[in-house]
Amino acid sequence: MKKKELSQPIYSTKVEGTDILVPMRDGARLAVDVYRPDAEGRFPALLAFAVHNKFLQSPQVAQACNNQPAWAPLWCGPAEGGDTTFLTSRGYVHVVGNLRGSGHSDPGDPWIEGKTDAYDLVEWIAQQPWCDGNVGMIGISDYGRRQIEAAMTQPPHLKAIFPYDPSNFTFRDTAPGGVIHTMWFHLLKFSADNPKEIKLTPKEEELWKEAYNNLDYRMYTAIFNILERKGKLATRFFRLLINPYEPEDVEKLEEDLTRVNIPFYIGSGWYAYTYKGHLFGASRYWEKCKNVPFKKLIFTGPAHLPRPWTAFHDEILRWYDYWLKGIDTGIKDEPRVKIWVMGANRWRYSEEWPLKETQWTKLYLDSWERLRWEPFTPSSRDGIDAPDCFAQMPLTQTRTVQKCSISGRRSTRRIPTGSSFSRMSVRMYRFRRHERERWSVHRYPRGK
């Protein structure tokens, strides 16, 4: 059968409203911006719903700061709610909202009081005069995770989702081994948290007092600033600081993933540093969401996507044209799994993940963040490299920390203890000016 043509860009964009306050079942209100095709009629809607500032998802920001690569200083990670102009021009309403407790939404904890907010918001969208009753969701990272959480509540009008880079629920992915990652600091500068007092349980009050007096926290002012704000800044990170342990109900959360019962197209990139939660999240949702009637998976390359996020919207269009508009785009006739093979630099296709032909092989930790094929022999140092840690002060350490020799004249100067030079590891730099002039600078660790 011949496939039908995808939705074409025939509409201009109309701003239906910004900071529209949508009532939830408990009376709290969520702030949303609504962009729609500038035409009469009803259209399917795509909801982007997260903690990030919704203004960063607007067409104004996209026009001012378009297509910034991940290495660029203007790359804005939280600008990941979808390309409004692309969507509205092809006949979709784009609804961008903030969780309670963030942006212009009413205060509150989205993980406690706001557990049903996504359900209520989806159903509100479906009843609006500009919506035809078919609702999907869009966005990556936190926007991706909210799609999974929304699907778990089973709103009747949520027909399909496309959660790319969805972080997983589990503590071990965002703080592996209990170690707090510095990526949180990068995200804090984009914080859209609502600066209202949050309610702590008696147990949380006790944990906060203990953390507040922890000298290990106080020495890091950026962390202590979050504690001092007592939940008014980076609420989720604040809760991690006062209770840095995996939730006791993590097994229950994973069991609840079986409640996801609508089609999803999930994926991530081969990210390593800082973003393990995205890759692990996509893999775990693929595995744990066992009652999904149809699902697809994509793993892209190792580089982060440009911002504002506009990548693979053609694929998103094929997905939602099929599920929300009933257009036969061929999206179900392809292999369900598509992965980018690094090194070979090509796509590979399969019907399952992990790949059926996978040869499971044990690897062992080695120094300098490496892995090795062979295990170490117990009670032996064979094959063990030098440790990649600071083991002791240099044996040749002296109180003299800098020597300079210029044109045959030698000058020795003692750097005061506590200076930046005296704390540094041993280094030697030589700069040859000409045959008769040489500079030599020696740096030693602090010592007596």
* H or E element, residue 127: none
The mean pLDDT of 333-350, rounded to a whole number, is 94
Tell me the pTM: 0.81
**pLDDT class of 367 with cuts at 50, 70, 90:** confident
CB-CB contact of 13 with 37 (8 Å): yes
Which is nearest to 51 in space by CA: 259, 311, 238, 228? 238
Domain chopping of the chain, boundaries = 13-170+249-350, 181-242, 402-443
How far is the C-alpha of 91 from the C-alpha of 45, rounded, in Å?
9
**Residue 389 confidence (pLDDT):** 63
Contact (Cβ atoms closer than 8 angstroms) between residue 191 and residue 206? no
- CB-side exposure of 195: number of CA atoms within 13 Å? 4
Helix (H, G, I), strand (E, B) or coil at 84: helix
For residue 56, the SS3 value is helix
CA neighbours within 13 Å on the CB side: how many for 327? 16
Q: Among 2-6, 141-145, 281-285, 351-355, which stretch is predicted with the lowest mean pLDDT?
A: 2-6
Which one is the CATH code of 13-170+249-350: 3.40.50.1820, 3.40.50.1980, 3.30.70.360, 3.30.450.20? 3.40.50.1820
Identity (one letter) of the amino acid at 421? F
Report the range of poorest mean pLDDT among 55-64, 115-124, 247-256.
Answer: 247-256
pLDDT band per the 50, 70, 90 thresholds, residue 92: very high
Q: How far is Cα 152 from Cα 141, in angstroms, rounded to an integer?
A: 17
* 109 has a pLDDT exceeding 70: yes
Q: What share of the chain is helix, strand, coil (3-state, %, to 5)?
A: 25, 25, 50
If you average pLDDT over residues 16-41, what whole number do you get?
98
User: What is residue 31's predicted lDDT score, i.e. its pLDDT?
Assistant: 98
Q: pLDDT at residue 448 above 50?
A: no
DSSP state of 54: G
State the average pLDDT over residues 226-243: 85
Nearest-5° angle of CA 376, CA 274, CA 237?
Answer: 120
pLDDT, tens only, 372-430: 888 887 777 666 666 666 556 556 555 544 444 444 444 444 444 443 333 334 333 33
What's the whole-number mean pLDDT along residues 62-85?
Answer: 92
Check whether 432 has a pLDDT greater than 70. Answer: no
Residue 42 backbone dihedrals phi, psi, to 5 degrees: -110, 145
Of 231 and 432, the structure prediction assigns the larger pLDDT to 231
- Give the span between the Cα atoms of 196 and 164, in whole angstroms: 31
Task: Output the pLDDT for position 107.
Answer: 87
